[in-house]
Amino acid sequence: MLTLAVDHKHSTTHPVSLAHPTVTHAGPATESVPVVDHAVFARLAGDLQSRTAAIRVVATFRNLLPQRIRELHVRIAAEDYASATTILLGLNVGASMVGARRLEVLTQSVLTSLEQERTASTRSLLTKLSTEGVRFYTDAAHAFTTAA
């Protein structure tokens, strides 16, 4: 269980799945995985008892995403795999919590690649992770500003 503090007045326990899709050397096929999983968002809103609070959580994750991905690139380029792993774990949990399914799958793939010391695969997956980060950044903004 992960306890999420939205602010000083609201907190919730949100289950985080430790089971992830199987990863192959070529990386996961993410095209069939939704960028934004609205069912996960609905559960988060229910857990928080507030759609507005859930939107704040998604917005915070979304706004920090570019910085975290840039830092991930820096850490991997510097071969600082311990720091890269910490960033990836945070991204993975956050993605799982807000319904960023493709990011969740890809962060797990990069983690697996790092664990297996597949540097070329890691760099390739990191490029894909960056692309999907941009896609989530855009899609999440649209999904939660146009939804009722």
- Residue 29 binned pLDDT confidence (cut-offs 50, 70, 90): low
Hey, is 29 helix, strand or coil?
coil
Q: What length is written for the chain?
A: 148
**Please, which residues bridge with residue 14 across strands?**
2
d(CA 132, CA 130): 5
Residue 50 and residue 80 in contact, taking contact as beta carbons nearer than 8 Å: no
Q: What is the pLDDT of residue 9?
A: 39
Convert the pLDDT of each residue in 122-133 to its tens digit.
989 999 999 999
| CATH match of 34-146 with 3.30.460 | no
Overall pTM > 0.85: no
Mean per-residue pLDDT, 98-117? 94
Q: Quick count: other Cβ atoms within 10 Å of Cβ 42?
A: 13
Q: Which residues contact 49 (CB under 8 A, 6 or more apart)?
A: 10
Indicate the domain borders of the chain. Answer: 34-146
Convert the pLDDT of each residue in 47-81 to its tens digit.
999 999 999 999 999 999 999 999 999 999 999 99
d(CA 30, CA 23): 11
Residue 44 and residue 97 in contact, taking contact as beta carbons nearer than 8 Å: yes
